[in-house]
Structure 1
Amino acid sequence: MDKNNKIPFDEDNYTHNINKNNERKLDRRGFMKTMVGAAGLFAVSTLPWGSIAATELMGLREKKYPKKEIIDVKKLNIGDAFEFAYPTDHDSALLIRLGENEYKAYQNACTHLRCPVFWEQSKSELVCPCHHGFFDVKTGSPTAGPPRRPLPEITIQVEAGKIVATGVKRYET
């Protein structure tokens, strides 16, 4: 009561500002139902992307690679290496001529920390100078150092006197 002996509100308590019919539109249970529904919707909406990623990572779908001419056979001597870009212009690769009709090509990034790999002709091996990793030139398998996976091999063939890249072999697990 105030100085005039009047009640300041129509009611005798201070709950006049609550609309009792709509007092609890969103209680704890309603809030949790909304959050679980939103999480479920998010999970279901990511399923298509997850299935695409799973098929790609598990190698269930075969990738298509463009054919790309690398170099003329006559320009590469036995024992020499040639650097080129494959499968895209941003992927460095290395072609090595091992014999008269024997060629090997690998992606030019160490499988340890992606440092460039170099052809050591005098030792007949591929070398990663960053952490002293060594790879067998015939298989791409690591022979020493920290790398544990082989270099990704690029499939090549000779067509009309030119060496052509045709694809990248998947890792065998």
Structure 2
Amino acid sequence: MDREQRGKNGSIPFSEDNYTHNIEKAGERKLDRRSFMKMMVGAAGVFAVSTLPWGTIAFNELTGIKKKTYDPKKIADAASLNVGDAIEFAYPGEHDSALLVRLGENEYKAYQNACTHLKCPVFWSKEDGELLCPCHHGIFDVHTGKPTAGPPKRPLPEILLKTDSGAVFATGVKRYET
């Protein structure tokens, strides 16, 4: 035997030339490139399958397959609102701001009070007969909610209304249509 292979006491510690390949820990797995790729594809598959429920919820929400129902809410008495006036109210939730405008004797329009550009509050301009977003000079048509000027591209979400016994009620939110 060669002198370099002998240890301090003259014995050969291992019969191999490479001393590191035989060091193993309990439960250690060999991970070569192929095993690594199999593990990554498996992890990606698990991730994809785990996101399916959220994708289904988003799909149903965006396509309107399930119609949302909202509780009716009294906004105001018709006698307390003059033609051309507007009031703010919370609908459908307590933190969702909306705006009701009385356009005629029996004509009311209500929209969610957040600009479709960057969610700035929208205000009613009685003098101009328009809904205004002061942040980026967005203007919306009060009859349709569609933008007429500025950066907004989508109309304001319309609140569905009903008048009953001299009062105006919010009954739902009209879905956005392209």
Q: Give the Å deviation of 1:58.
A: 2.3
> C-alpha distance in 1, partners of 2:20/2:99?
81
Q: Give the Å deviation of 1:16.
A: 7.2
Q: What is the TM-score with the length of structure 2 in the denominator?
A: 0.87
Q: Give the Å deviation of 1:10.
A: 4.2
CA contact (8 A) 1:9 1:16 kept: no
**Structure 1 residues not aligned, in runs of 5+:** none
CA contact (8 A) 1:125 1:136 kept: yes
Which amino acid letter does the alignment assign opposite residue 125 of structure 1? Answer: E
Task: Choose 101-110 or 140-149, whichever is displaced more.
Answer: 140-149
Q: What is the TM-score with the length of structure 1 in the denominator?
A: 0.89
The residue number in structure 2 matching 1:47 is 52
Identity %: 64
> C-alpha distance in 1, partners of 2:87/2:136?
23
Which amino acid letter does the alignment assign opposite residue 162 of structure 2? Answer: Q
**Structure 2 residues not aligned, in runs of 5+:** 1-5
Question: When the two structures are aligned, how many residues end up with a matched partner?
Answer: 171
**CA shift in 2, pair 1:13/1:165, >3 Å:** same
Task: Choose 87-96 or 25-34, whichever is displaced more.
Answer: 25-34
The residue number in structure 2 matching 1:86 is 91
> C-alpha distance in 1, partners of 2:91/2:29?
63
> C-alpha distance in 1, partners of 2:83/2:17?
99
* Equivalent in 131, 135, 141 of residue 136 of structure 1: 141
Task: Choose 8-17 or 108-117, whichever is displaced more.
Answer: 8-17
**CA shift in 2, pair 1:86/1:12, >3 Å:** closer
